[in-house]
């Protein structure tokens, strides 16, 4: 009988195969997972350890993580630097309230972050998660205009195919038709939507691409508080990679029509696209920017909403004189300490050559999928590889195939994509691309 060791308090406890099966059955019956049916849930695989880019699953499979735990674990698992930061901080204190108190981990993190982000961003609001950081960004934009005596500017513009989170304000700026939140349409604030940018990255920009957004601003500028978008890469809304010129023109339109620009860099920030922040592809700076995911290197939840000094000052003019938001775990010292360590690793600069190597290998190894009958298109930018299928992917069948071939990949819709940790080695990345090719070729 095979047994598996998992950490329980300060010692190892041994579970039998039967106990592990009981764990999975309990999970299936009682625990919600993301976007999962309680009636017919997708299979879940139990992780017993993780190191580098490998996940060890109960049952004996060792798989290369192609998702970096939903794009966050850029330094891999069990990173010594991040482990040390977490262990050191937890021995000091794990949490103190941020109302009326401050601490060195938050100060160091914010100082480091402001040195990295595009010029003009001067203030940092530390949030619980990416979705909350979007809520904060929208709230900032609305309060800014209200405090300028312009409460008529109360709507947000967003390109279609966008995704910004699952909380209510964030849902309101996600694609209202192709997004995941159409069920809540009647309950969400009615925002304004422009057609998604169509010119692909690396192609010749079409002037027609920006015209619908310009028309929307022209007709509605009196009620537009802000434009929110994902720079260059639209993530969960379809993994669409578009031309940076659209972003540059969007900045110009916001300036022309007196609206704030919110860049959602939660998925694209910290090097994922080949630039430290994706808005650098267009050489622009937003008024408000959201970051998260890779901020802590995937160790724990933490995000931030950054804004310009003009926005920060404008928010606090007139009543109520303060920004009305304050999460209980805002500025959590443990998360801030790990995030500070993660940013120190990024500032060492290795991510640039790592991401470049990943892009080059993806271009060689993943592009061959484009010749398969089942594949519509292959898209690659930085450490992002996307294979769009012609038909929706059977997630359960695909994941079973991937695991059998040593890969952890989580498809959605018609998309099979990978965003691996930056530390991945060539042979490990090859495992991922081979697994995708094998599955796509079997259809």
Show which residues are catalytic. 35, 163, 264, 293
CB atoms within 10 A of CB 414: 17
Q: Which of 173, 116, 184, 177 shows the shortest CA–CA distance to 141?
A: 173
β-partners of residue 200 are: 242
Q: How many residues does the chain have?
A: 443
Q: Among all chains, which residue has been given the structure tokens 């071939």?
A: 405
Give all strands (DSSP E) within 24-135, no chain letters: 47-51, 54-57, 62-65, 121-127
Q: How far is CA 358 from the centre of its chain?
A: 19
Give the residue ranges of DSSP H helices in 79-228: 80-92, 104-116, 130-147, 168-172, 211-220
3-state SS of the chain: helix, strand, coil percent to 5?
40, 20, 40
CA distance 7 to 147: 52
Q: Which of 315, 250, 298, 305 shows the shortest CA–CA distance to 134?
A: 305
Answer for the pair 129, 290: CB distance below 8 angstroms, yes or no: no
Phi, psi for 109 (deg, rounded to 5): -60, -50
3-state secondary structure of 85: helix
Answer for the pair 239, 275: CB distance below 8 angstroms, yes or no: no
Q: How far is CA 224 from the centre of its chain?
A: 25
Does residue 320 have a cis peptide bond before it, meaning omega lies within 30 degrees of 0?
yes
CA distance 390 to 443: 11
First to last CA, the chain: 36
CA distance 373 to 422: 31
């Amino acid at each position: 009988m095979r047994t598996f060791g998992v950490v329980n308090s300060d010692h190892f406890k041994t579970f039998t195969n039967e106990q592990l099966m009981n764990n999975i059955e309990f999970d299936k019956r009682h625990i919600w997972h993301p976007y999962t049916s309680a009636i017919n849930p997708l299979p879940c695989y139990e992780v017993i350890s993780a190191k580098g880019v490998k996940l060890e699953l109960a049952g004996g499979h060792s798989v290369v993580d192609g998702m970096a735990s939903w794009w966050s674990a850029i330094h891999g698992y069990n990173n010594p630097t991040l482990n040390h930061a977490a262990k050191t901080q937890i021995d000091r204190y794990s949490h103190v309230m941020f109302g009326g108190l401050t601490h060195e981990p938050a100060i160091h993190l914010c100082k480091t972050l402001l040195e990295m982000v595009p010029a003009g961003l001067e203030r940092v609001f530390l949030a619980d998660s990416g979705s909350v950081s979007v809520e904060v960004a929208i709230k900032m934009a609305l309060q800014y205009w209200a405090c300028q005596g312009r409460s008529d500017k109360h709507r947000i513009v967003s390109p279609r195919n966008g995704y910004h989170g699952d909380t209510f304000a964030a849902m309101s700026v996600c694609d209202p038709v192709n997004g995941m939140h159409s069920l809540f349409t009647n309950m969400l604030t009615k925002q304004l939507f422009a057609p998604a940018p169509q010119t692909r990255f690396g192609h010749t920009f079409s002037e027609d691409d920006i015209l619908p957004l310009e028309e929307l601003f022209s007709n509605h500028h009196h009620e537009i508080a802000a434009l929110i978008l994902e720079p260059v890469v639209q993530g969960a809304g379809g993994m669409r990679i578009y031309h940076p010129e659209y972003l540059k023109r969007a900045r110009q339109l916001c300036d022309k029509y007196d609206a704030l620009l919110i860049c959602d860099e939660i998925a694209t920030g910290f090097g994922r696209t080949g630039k430290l922040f994706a808005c650098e592809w267009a050489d622009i700076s937003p008024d408000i920017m959201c970051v998260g995911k890779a901020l802590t290197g995937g160790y724990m939840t933490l995000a931030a909403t950054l804004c310009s000094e003009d926005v920060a000052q404008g928010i606090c003019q007139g009543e109520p004189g303060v920004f009305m938001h304050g999460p209980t775990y805002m500025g959590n010292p443990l998360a801030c300490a790990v995030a500070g360590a993660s940013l120190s690793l990024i500032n060492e600069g290795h991510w640039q050559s790592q991401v470049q190597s990943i892009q080059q290998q993806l271009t060689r190894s993943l592009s061959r999928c484009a010749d398969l009958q089942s594949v519509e298109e292959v898209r690659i930018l930085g450490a992002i590889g996307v294979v769009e299928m012609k038909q929706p992917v059977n997630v359960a069948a695909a994941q079973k195939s991937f695991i059998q071939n040593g890969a952890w990949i989580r498809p959605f819709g018609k998309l099979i994509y990978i965003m691996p940790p930056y530390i991945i080695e060539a042979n490990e990345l090859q495992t991922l691309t081979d697994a995708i090719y094998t599955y796509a070729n079997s259809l």
